[in-house]
Amino acid sequence: MLLTWDDRSCNVGGDGLEGCVQNGPRTMDYSVVMNFDSAFRGKRVLVTGHTGFKGSWLTSWLLLMGAEVCGVALDPPTEPSMFAILGLEKRCRHHVLDIRNSSGLSKIVSDFAPDYLFHLAAQAIVSRSYADPVDTISTNVVGTANVLEALRPLTKRCVAVMITSDKCYENVEWVWGYRESDALGGKDIYSASKAAAEAVIHAYHHSYFSDAEGPIRLARARAGNVIGGGDWAADRIVADCMRAWNRNDTVAIRCPRATRPWQHVLEPLGGYLALAVALSKRPELQGEAFNFGPLAEQNRTVNELLTTISSQWGFISPDQAFRVVEDRPFSESHLLKLNCDKARHMLGWHAKWDYSDCVRELVAWYKAFYQGDQDMVEITRAQINAYCA
C-alpha cells in the first residue's frame, strides 16, 4: 500500500523549539503503520535517548507511522552514529539535554505535552559502568526519577513506557527464563542501576500514578541483548566486529560461551510500541512489567553468533574473523534468558524474526553502510517494513 509520510523537518538544536519547517509529504510504502492501527499517527511522542542505537530505530519507526517525535538525549554517543546517518536531527524536535538536569527536562516535557513517552536514555555500556559507577548510577537511577518527576505535573493523558533491561534480574545462573515476578538485583554496577531504576519506577507507580484513570499511564519494559544495523557502541560484540572487519582486522572476544537472548532491535521496539498501545486502552496494565525477548531456542553463545555473522560477512573460516582471549577485564553473567509468556498472553506480542532473519538483516544493514553509496534511510525503512510485514 502506498501512503504518504509526513516528514516534518525540525532543526531545533539546543533546547529551543523554534525553526520547524514543514517539508511536505513524501510518497512511500507505508504498510508499516498498519500493525499498530494508526495509533501513533499525528501523536506527540517523546523519546529519551533518541540519539542512541535503539532510540534512532524507534524514532525512525515512529516517524514512519506519522508521529511527531521530540527527542531528549546527549549528543550521539558514537561516531559513526545511526542518528547522524539517518539525519534524524532534522526530522524530529531534537533536544540535547542531560536527563539529570531535572528542571530542563521538566520544561521540555511540559512544553511538548506528549501523548506517549518512551524512556530509553541511559548509560548503557557495562564496561563503562565499571569505569565510572557513579555516573552510571546517577544517569540510570536519578535520570529515571527525573523523567518520572517531569511526568507528575502533566494533566493530559500520557502513556509512558520505561525501558530498563533484562539485566535488572538477580541472575542466579539457572536454566529457566526469568519471569517478571522474579527477584531483581545485579552484581555489577550497570545491572544494579537498572534494578534500582525498576525500584524507583515501581515506587512512583504506587506513590503517584496508581490511579490508572489519572493522566499518567506507565509500564516497564525489559529486553535482552539487541543487535541490528547501526550500533557502534564500545564493547558491544557486534559493533566491535563490524568496526574491525571493515578494517580487515580480527576481533578478540571474551566470554565465548556466554549465552544471550540475542534479538533484532526491532523486536523489543515492537514490544514497546505494542505495550504503549495496549496501556493506552487498558487501565489494568498500569504499573506492569513486561519481558520482550526472543524464542528460547534462539539463545546462542557469543561464539555461535560470531561464527554465523562472520560467515555472512564473507569470512571463509571463523579463525580469520575472531580469536578468543581468556583475560576478561570484568565479570559478566553467563546465562540470561527471558520468559516472555506474559507479553504473549497479555499483549499478543511475540518475537517474529528467527535467528537467521535477525543475522541476515543485521549484516545487510552494515554491508550497505560500509559500501558507502547506499540510501540508509531507505534501507532502514525497508527493514522496518519487512519486519512489520
Q: Which of 62, 85, 120, 302 is the binder for ligand NAD (CB under 6 A)?
A: 120
Question: x/- contact string, 237-276, with ligand NAD (CB under 6 A)?
Answer: ----------------------------------------
Q: Of the candidates 127, 125, 97, 134, which has an alpha carbon nearest to the alpha carbon of residue 112? A: 97
If binding is defined by CB under 6 A, does position 74 make contact with ligand NAD? yes
Q: Which stretch binds ligand NAD (CB under 6 A): 225-233, 310-318, 334-342, 380-388?
A: 225-233
If binding is defined by CB under 6 A, does position 99 make contact with ligand NAD? yes
Would you tell me how many other CB atoms lie within 10 Å of the CB of residue 25? 11
- Cα Rg of the chain, angstroms: 20
Q: Is the dihedral of CA 366, 245, 49, 10 positive or negative?
A: negative
User: For the chain, how far is it from start to end, CA to CA, in angstroms?
Assistant: 11
H and E: helices and strands count for the chain: 14, 17
Question: x/- contact string, 34-53, with ligand NAD (CB under 6 A)?
Answer: ---------------x-xxx
The distance of closest approach from Cβ of residue 52 to ligand NAD in the complex, given in angstroms and rounded to an integer, is 2
The distance of closest approach from Cβ of residue 38 to ligand NAD in the complex, given in angstroms and rounded to an integer, is 26
The distance of closest approach from Cβ of residue 388 to ligand NAD in the complex, given in angstroms and rounded to an integer, is 20
Q: Which of 54, 91, 95, 128 is the binder for ligand NAD (CB under 6 A)?
A: 54
Neighbour-count burial of 335, counting CB atoms closer than 10 A to its CB (0-12 exposed, 13-18 middle, 19+ buried): middle
If binding is defined by CB under 6 A, does position 124 make contact with ligand NAD? yes
Judged by beta carbon, residue 49 or residue 294, the one nearer ligand NAD is: 49
If binding is defined by CB under 6 A, does position 294 make contact with ligand NAD? no
Peptide bond into 80 cis (omega under 30): yes
Q: Which of 65, 226, 266, 289 is the binder for ligand NAD (CB under 6 A)?
A: 226
C-alpha cell at 184: 531483581
Judged by beta carbon, residue 33 or residue 124, the one nearer ligand NAD is: 124
Burial call 274-299: b when 16+ CB within 10 Å, e when fewer = bbbbbbbeeeebbbbbbbbbbeeebb
* Interacting residue ranges for ligand NAD, rule: CB under 6 A: 49, 51-55, 73-74, 77, 98-100, 120-124, 139, 143, 163, 165, 223, 225-226, 233
